[in-house]
Amino acid sequence: MHTLSIIAFCWFAAQSIVGVIDGVPIEQLGGPIIATAVSIAVRASTQALLDALAVRGAAMVKSQLRRRVISAVDAGGQRLLGSTSSARLATVLGPGLDALDGYIGRYLPQLILTVVATPLIVTALLLADPVTGITVIVTLPIIPVFMVLIGMATQAVQRRQWQHLGTLSQGFLEVVQGLSTLMVFGRQHRQAERIADVTEQYRRRTMSVLRLSFVSGFTLELAASLSVALVAVSVGIRLIDGDLGLALGLFVLVLVPEAYLPLRQVGAQFHAASEGIAAADDVLELLEPAPPTASIGHSSPVHAGRAATTDRSTGSAAPARADEPQPLPALSLRGLTVRRGERVIIDRLSGEWMPGTVLAITGPSGAGKTSLLGAVLGLVDAEGDIELDGAPVAAADRASRIAWAGQRPDLTGGALDSVVALGAVRVDSALVSRSLQWAAADDVPRDTELGAAGEGLSGGQAQRVALARAHYRAVERSSRVVLLDEPTSALDAATEARVIAAIRALADDGRLVVVVTHRRAVMAAADAELVLDLPPEHSALDLGGRDSEAPPVALARGQR
């Protein structure tokens, strides 16, 4: 309808102008004039309708993509968050998806309109004047050729520009996160200069992209103008020779630019959508992550016991009597393997630990301590079997049966009681008090209202409130396994001693408490220690007489 209204407007406008030139009475020109006005109204209304549909479609697609990206991040858990910076996620979810407006809302609709409109207009020109139609067919491909050549350069420049935006976002986020530390050491001014430098580079790249867009737009306009001029010269010569009527010639001259206009608009919208095209690659990468490939690296657990070890990985101090019932281990690992990309972080780890045990997981940074906790929680993809209370549990169900506190507090906003009781159907005020006292966080006023991300607490207070939250969950859900990642890293020695005593009491209450730590005081208080290391070469761990080709088994220190 939109294309037909364009053709109708050109035809009736030409008839009206020729009628006026020929001196036809205005009464007789009423039909063509009214038809011209109607075609203008139809063209305007259909264009508005197309724009509205494009905007609505873009909004729907962005909303669906944003939901899918958030779902992918949620499903990817620690694996995805470990390979993707939070700044990149924020950039993709924010300006990245917003940049798709140009691609989905303008470029794609214009491309579809071009596919429909251009053949209809060229057909109308061929029927009206074959010479003009053939001329348009011959010159029309010039514009797509220029579009492809310029588009390749624009896409490469815009891709670099999008990557630079991600770098700028990541740098700014890192500065904000470490601003307090920078201010303590008086280094905040250097970071301001660094951000200013990165911002200036981004400005220059933006101007380069705009300059390229303007030049490419001028090139397309010049190619279309020269093509229209060629048709105009041909029509003018034939009008002078009398080979072409004035009405038909005027109709052709008015309609010819409309044949080139859709392609010119495609080129212009492509430049406007180039940032969205670059952002779409990151969106698709988040939605369809590459499957893990074969490992080329290796790291395996290595036992570093300072006390005698048993020949089993239960951490038992002494074997149980034959006539006594065998208690079920709280946590069992069978051939657990965790990969990060192409590198094996944990290789065929096996072991089992009993309730009442404090297990310290130690090792150098990057050895996979946090990844191991994520695998146990079901937040990190892993191979092998993980059992709770002697029974295999699916990855999706493990987090609901385990209480845990991560390396960062990751607190929510709101009243302190609701933050500690996060996830509970009903807030148990008495249990909140007990949990705060357990975590040595009883100095935090109960009427405290936390801001976003736990704003309003110091680093040590936030860490202790996160521990209180884990304790509340463990008691409220009767969790037999509690995972704590660096629970005392931000605490002073006196407070750390209180927390260690609380962890000991929690284990004595019949729970396995797994603690990732670098603190010697926590290691000394643990019943068992699992050391993860990064050996330089791939080898199986020889466990005192066992076949060295057998899967490595994690041993534990002697238990109290």
Rounded to whole angstroms, the Cα distance separating 410 from 76 reads 18
Bridge-based pairing of strands 449-450 and 414-415 is: antiparallel
**Bridge partners for 386 per DSSP:** 333
Q: What is the DSSP letter of 148?
A: H
Residue spans in the chain of domains classed CATH 1.20.1560.10: 72-287
pLDDT value at position 503? 93
Bridge-based pairing of strands 449-450 and 402-405 is: unpaired
Q: Could you tell me the sign of the dihedral formed by the alpha carbons of 388, 393, 395, 399, in that order?
A: negative
In contact, 171 and 195? CB cutoff 8 Å: yes
Against a cut of 0.75, is the pTM above it? Answer: no
pLDDT value at position 228? 82
pLDDT by residue, tens only, the chain of 560 residues: 888 888 888 888 888 888 888 777 877 778 888 888 998 898 888 888 888 888 888 788 778 877 887 777 666 555 555 555 566 677 677 777 777 777 777 778 888 888 888 888 888 888 888 888 888 888 877 777 766 666 666 666 666 666 666 667 766 766 766 666 667 677 767 777 777 777 777 777 778 777 776 777 777 777 777 888 888 888 888 888 777 788 888 888 888 888 888 877 776 676 666 666 666 666 776 666 544 433 333 333 333 333 322 333 333 333 444 455 567 888 999 888 888 777 788 888 888 899 999 999 998 887 888 888 888 988 888 888 898 988 888 888 888 889 989 888 888 888 888 889 988 888 899 999 999 999 998 888 888 888 877 788 888 888 899 999 999 999 998 899 999 999 988 888 899 999 999 999 999 999 999 999 988 999 998 999 898 876 544 433 333 333 333 334 343 333 34
pLDDT value at position 177? 65
What is residue 76's three-state secondary structure? helix
Closest by CA position to 361, among listed 343, 346, 348: 346
In contact, 266 and 111? CB cutoff 8 Å: yes
Closest by CA position to 255, among listed 539, 540, 14, 75: 14
The tokens 């209480």 sit on which residue?
Answer: 403
Burial of 213 (0-12, 13-18, 19+ CB in 10 A): buried
What's the CA dihedral at 209, 210, 213, 217 to 10 degrees?
-170
Class of domain 72-287: mainly alpha
pLDDT value at position 397? 84
User: Secondary structure of the chain: what % helix, strand, coil (to 5)?
Assistant: 60, 10, 30
Rounded to whole angstroms, the Cα distance separating 556 from 530 reads 6
Spatial neighbors of 145 by CB under 8 A, at least 6 apart, are none
Class of domain 355-368+401-531: alpha beta
Residue spans in the chain of domains classed CATH 3.40.50.300: 355-368+401-531
pLDDT value at position 109? 82
pLDDT value at position 162? 64
In contact, 143 and 224? CB cutoff 8 Å: yes
Count of all residues that appear for the chain in the document: 560
